[in-house]
Chain A
Amino acid sequence: AMEDVSAKFVSQKISRTRWRPLPAAALQPPDLFATGSWDNEDNRISIWSVGDLGNAGLNGEYHGEPRLLCDIQHNGDVMDMQFLDQERIVAASSTGTVTVFRHHQNNQTLSADHRWEKAHYHVDQDTSWGGAACTGVVCNNPEIVTVGEDGRINLFRADQKDAVRTIDNADSSTLHAVTFLRTTEILTVNSIGQLKIWDLRQQRNEPSQIFSLAGDRVPLHCVDRHPNQQHIVATGGQDGMLSIWDIRQGTMPVSLLNAHEAEMWEVHFHPSDPDHLFTCSEDGSLWHWDTSTNVSEKPSFLHQGGRSTAYLSHSTMNQSVVSAWLSNDPTKDRMEITNLIPNQTLSVNSLDVLGPCLVYGTDAEAIYVNRQLFA
């Protein structure tokens, strides 16, 4: 519900928001997130605290806005950003540079740990080495994979100076996003509506599989993989359409779901409760897609019931509703779809979910934190 959301206007357009990952077996909700900005003369990576539970009210509800812990200048727009581990953040820049920042928690400062200058570049006819925007980054410590407008795929290791592997001209159109399918395979989406699987063990500079939207080749902007069932992949397109793919079969999406009226910038399965999926868009909306089937047991965002004490309670249900995302007609009585931001006008560029917490950032220069998604 909206009243659980705290907002802060930050005087910079936010391109990315990311929760700091929780240590294994942690029970407490996340308390720290990072943001990246874009289209400012001076762009920044910032670390925010959402306070401890000591500040929470009697009913466990959280009041008070996010607090800035530290920030650091970032050269160019922050195009994408991922936590490598609890202390390091990898940022993709519009200049083509990829930077690893370290968050020093003892004195609350940020520093640049390592930088791959112009990891993405164009071989321009006039100037020889123009940087090309790095559009996507994904981490699986210590590995970092980046993609860019130059159609290039880079594989870095956090501790190595040079790229471990580079696939030049991997794609003739712009690569918009990347994610890990398995430890050695990655998924990319591009501006001609293709989803590609790359096996990094193979030396061939070709994708091992290509999936494609039928009809108009609507560009795809984001991709995420189901955390437990790796064959289920969700992508978001320029027309705001959510596509669900089963990469075991066929070359076309299993279902196309219409929600947003403009570019879908990010799509995320809930990491521990993947019946829930979240998408945000240029049209200023943020949708929650809920496929948990048992309506009576399902916690709803719509009614304010009692507090939810265990946000992980659904993971046990997953086994029985294995293919909720792959059903032929997911819209039919199986999915509840809720817009979490009524009346927003400017783009929601990024969102992240972890535990009961949602954080998102907008072009209206505000960040929002909802600490009670499943209340």
Chain B
Amino acid sequence: AGAPLTDTVPLQVVPGADPSARQLCFAWGPAEVLVCETLFGRAGGFRSPPSRFWGEGGAGAAARALTGSVAGTGDGAPSSSRVFVVRRDQDIYIQTLRKLFNESHGIFMGLQRSEEELAGKSRKAQLVQVSKNYRSVIRACMEDMHQAAVSTRDPALQGQYSTQVSILSAMELIWNLCEILFVEAATAGPLLLRLLDWVRLHVCDVDSMVREVLSSESPSKHKLFWNVVDVFVLQGRMDEARHLLSKEASANPTSMNMYKILDDLMKKMPVPNLGNTQTLTELELKWQHWHEECQRYLQDGTFASNPHMESICKILLGDEDAILEKKELMTTWYHFLVTRLLYSHPTVKPMELRFYAQSSMDLFLGGESSPEPLDMILMAAFEFEMHQVIKECSIVLSNWWFVAHLTDLLDHCKLLQSHNLYFGSNMREFLLLEYASGLFSHHSLWQLGVDYFDHCPEYGRVYLELHIERIPLSTEQKALKVLRICEQRQMHEQVRSICKIMAMKALRNNRLGSALSWSIRAKDAAFATLISDRFLKDYCERGCFSDLDLIDNLGPSMLLSDRLTFLGKYREFHRLYGEKRFPEAARLLLTLMTAHIAPCSFWMTLLTDALPLLEQKEVIFSAEQTYELMRCLEDLTAGNPDKQKFQDDDVETTKVEMLRLALARNLARVIVKEGTVEGS
């Protein structure tokens, strides 16, 4: 560990775009920023340096997370302008991290569902478990990344993976500390044990040395033997240290006594226990006693003949200089801090940590090197400056994943409530919005973003509405998934727009049936009318219906639009006619006009359809029906604003004449027939 978050501040915010040579302009998008070079020279009033706008809204991470890509270039001439697409979350695009995003999404959702009613201890246990789950996902991801780094032969890729491993490792280190201090809020006593676990888990630079010594034929002869003993002592791994020492002791019978005394001291060292069987006062008393005993042995020179053992005894006494001498074995100031606490202040209280932390860092670094971002983050945690931790992480890390999830967890611990940001929503929501926006800018991960927006009460809905409209609807299946998201959230406008897009697409592809099902789904009457008109137009042109399977099975959806109703009924007329059910067909045809179901423009076609019925051997239209047909024809020719058209068009004129003739003949026949029937 001691992960190198060492990158210096980037000089160039957008690689390739040079504000010193060209004036730049930019436009915010929901997930990306477009930066383009203008035609103006540098001299024109360039008001704000680009680094300024990244800082806005506390979104410091953006400045780190930029990937500039040249979306379009001109012909390469100096006068051509370029457009850069700048994305805000670089890590979203790392393939191996998709596991992190997906798995943590499940944990996040579980946390949102978890029961707030759980009281006190069980709620805390639940939250600690959630925190541990997040960390185990980070670790699993780290292992995958490590595997990838080991197995690749490409040195550039290897470097990339290794960087990711160290970033993930730093994230886990910070998270773990936050878990101890904020989520679990360990109290004096257990606090030290937790910190010891933390150091043991993360300071693994010495692990290989330990392995080497332990696996050697005779560890006590190994040149690094005492180093390993020291590592164990520094990390408070007393049993392991004693085990090693016993090997050395058996090899040196002369100094057996000295070993025994040291072993005894190490064995007797009082440690806080988690069982709560002893009070802190008891522990402090015991510890004081033991401390004095160590002091005595050191002063009477018991270990004087063996500098290794003497130094161990000094460490047990919490001698800062003696501990600092082992700087290389601790590798980090926070290891030094924990070791120091272990041997000087085992019952340290959470609020006292800040003093020891600051002085440990100062002592350890000794003015030789300045603290790095990671050091500042850990220091902020020791100081219980939660907001500072989150802010620093936002600035340093190249992703929003970490701060968004950590902040959400802390918020569930009810630790962040008082803090409101000046722009309305709270910090939790702000960070979740940023993270989810990043997900939405990704080709595949957008689905995860939806649930995060759902849990942003203030702006989540608006963000979702903006983003969801930008999802490309490449297949109907994908459109259905997007549609489902919108329908579940009653986003009516988006539902309509998606269905309209899909209906338009289907229409362009001459898929009238599909087009109609999309407009039925959106209950879009206007569009259903448009499609119905296309069907009718096709019918008029070809003389037969396409897509009968659809029109015959409209069912209740027929009622969506008048035109659709007409289409369905008109098709029914054709079916009746085809089945030679002439009286029913005739009645329906007439109703279509008299009940004004048919659009006026279609009356002529309907009347023409009546012709063969009028010409049947048997009389089909009654006298009354014939009068009505005649009225329809006269209404059409008289009231039609396109009257001119009829007169000009020979075909139409002939049609009207033929109709009039047929109607007159039918009337004559029906009068005779009806008279006969009535008379008989």
A residues whose Cβ falls under 8 Å from a Cβ of B: 9, 11-13, 38-41, 77, 79, 94, 122-126, 130, 132-133, 135, 149-151, 169, 171-174, 191-194, 207, 210, 212, 214-217, 219, 238, 262-263, 282, 343-347, 363-366
Taking the closest CB of chain A, its distance from the CB of B558, in whole angstroms, is: 10
How many chain B residues touch the partner (CB < 8 A)?
45
Q: Quick one: given A124-B509, A130-B509, A172-B514, are A262 and B550 in contact (CB under 8 Å)?
A: no
Cα distance A174–B518 in the bound complex, in angstroms = 11
Cβ contacts under 8 Å, A219 to chain B: 517
Cβ contacts under 8 Å, A11 to chain B: 95-96, 98-99, 102
Cα distance A207–B549 in the bound complex, in angstroms = 10
Q: A38-B478, A77-B478, A174-B517 are in contact. List 15 more A-B contacts (CB 8 A).
A: A11-B102, A124-B509, A125-B508, A133-B475, A135-B476, A172-B546, A174-B476, A174-B514, A191-B476, A210-B549, A215-B555, A216-B555, A216-B557, A238-B480, A363-B481
Taking the closest CB of chain B, its distance from the CB of A37, in whole angstroms, is: 9
Cβ contacts under 8 Å, A133 to chain B: 475-477
Who on chain B is nearest to A39 by CB? Answer: B444
Most buried by B among A219, A263, A344, A346: A346
Among B447, B514, B554, B557, contact of A149 (Cβ-Cβ < 8 Å):
B514
Who on chain B is nearest to A262 by CB? Answer: B484
Among A40, A126, A135, contact of B508 (Cβ-Cβ < 8 Å):
A126
User: B22-33 toward A: CB 8 Å interface, digit per residue (1/0)?
Assistant: 000000000000
Cβ contacts under 8 Å, A12 to chain B: 98, 444
Q: Quick one: given A77-B475, A216-B555, are A13 and B105 in contact (CB under 8 Å)?
A: no
Q: Are B444 and A13 in contact (CB under 8 A)?
A: yes
Who on chain A is nearest to B140 by CB? Answer: A9
Taking the closest CB of chain A, its distance from the CB of B656, in whole angstroms, is: 35
**A-B residue pairs in contact (CB < 8 Å), sample of 24:** A9-B98, A9-B99, A9-B102, A13-B444, A38-B477, A38-B478, A77-B477, A79-B477, A94-B474, A123-B510, A125-B508, A151-B513, A151-B514, A172-B514, A191-B517, A214-B555, A216-B555, A217-B554, A282-B481, A343-B106, A346-B105, A347-B481, A365-B98, A365-B102
Cα distance A291–B288 in the bound complex, in angstroms = 72
Among A130, A151, A217, contact of B553 (Cβ-Cβ < 8 Å):
A217
Who on chain B is nearest to A8 by CB? Answer: B99
Cα distance A345–B450 in the bound complex, in angstroms = 11
Cα distance A94–B517 in the bound complex, in angstroms = 20
Cβ contacts under 8 Å, B484 to chain A: 262-263, 282
| Any A CB within 8 A of the CB of B411 | no
Cα distance A38–B553 in the bound complex, in angstroms = 33
Taking the closest CB of chain B, its distance from the CB of A35, in whole angstroms, is: 15
Cβ contacts under 8 Å, B481 to chain A: 282, 347, 363
Cα distance A40–B477 in the bound complex, in angstroms = 14
Most buried by B among A41, A124, A173, A210: A173
Cβ contacts under 8 Å, B549 to chain A: 171-173, 194, 207, 210
User: B553-590 toward A: CB 8 Å interface, digit per residue (1/0)?
Assistant: 11111000000000000000000000000000000000
Cβ contacts under 8 Å, A343 to chain B: 106, 109-110, 113
Q: Are B105 and A364 in contact (CB under 8 A)?
A: yes
Taking the closest CB of chain A, its distance from the CB of B444, in whole angstroms, is: 5
Cβ contacts under 8 Å, A13 to chain B: 444, 447
Cβ contacts under 8 Å, B474 to chain A: 77, 94
- The tally of CB-CB contacts under 8 A between chains A and B is 141
Taking the closest CB of chain A, its distance from the CB of B455, in whole angstroms, is: 12
Taking the closest CB of chain B, its distance from the CB of A36, in whole angstroms, is: 13
User: B82-105 toward A: CB 8 Å interface, digit per residue (1/0)?
Assistant: 000000000000011011001101
| Any A CB within 8 A of the CB of B511 | yes
Cβ contacts under 8 Å, B488 to chain A: 262
Who on chain B is nearest to A191 by CB? Answer: B517
Among A238, A345, A363, contact of B109 (Cβ-Cβ < 8 Å):
A345
Most buried by B among A126, A130, A191: A191
Cβ contacts under 8 Å, A79 to chain B: 475, 477
Q: Are A150 and B511 in contact (CB under 8 A)?
A: yes
Q: Are A40 and B443 in contact (CB under 8 A)?
A: yes
Cβ contacts under 8 Å, A216 to chain B: 555-557
CB-contacts of B633-672 with A (<8 A): none
Cα distance A214–B553 in the bound complex, in angstroms = 10
| Any A CB within 8 A of the CB of B547 | yes
User: B509-553 toward A: CB 8 Å interface, digit per residue (1/0)?
Assistant: 111111011001000000000000000000000000011111001
Cα distance A263–B485 in the bound complex, in angstroms = 12
Cβ contacts under 8 Å, A347 to chain B: 447, 481
Cα distance A105–B96 in the bound complex, in angstroms = 27
Cα distance A174–B102 in the bound complex, in angstroms = 31
Who on chain A is nearest to B98 by CB? Answer: A11
Among B105, B546, B553, contact of A192 (Cβ-Cβ < 8 Å):
B553
Who on chain B is nearest to A40 by CB? Answer: B444
Cβ contacts under 8 Å, B95 to chain A: 11
Cβ contacts under 8 Å, B512 to chain A: 172
Cβ contacts under 8 Å, B546 to chain A: 169, 172
Taking the closest CB of chain B, its distance from the CB of A281, in whole angstroms, is: 10
**What are the nearest 7 A-B pairs in CB distance?**
A172-B513, A172-B547, A122-B509, A173-B513, A11-B98, A9-B99, A172-B550
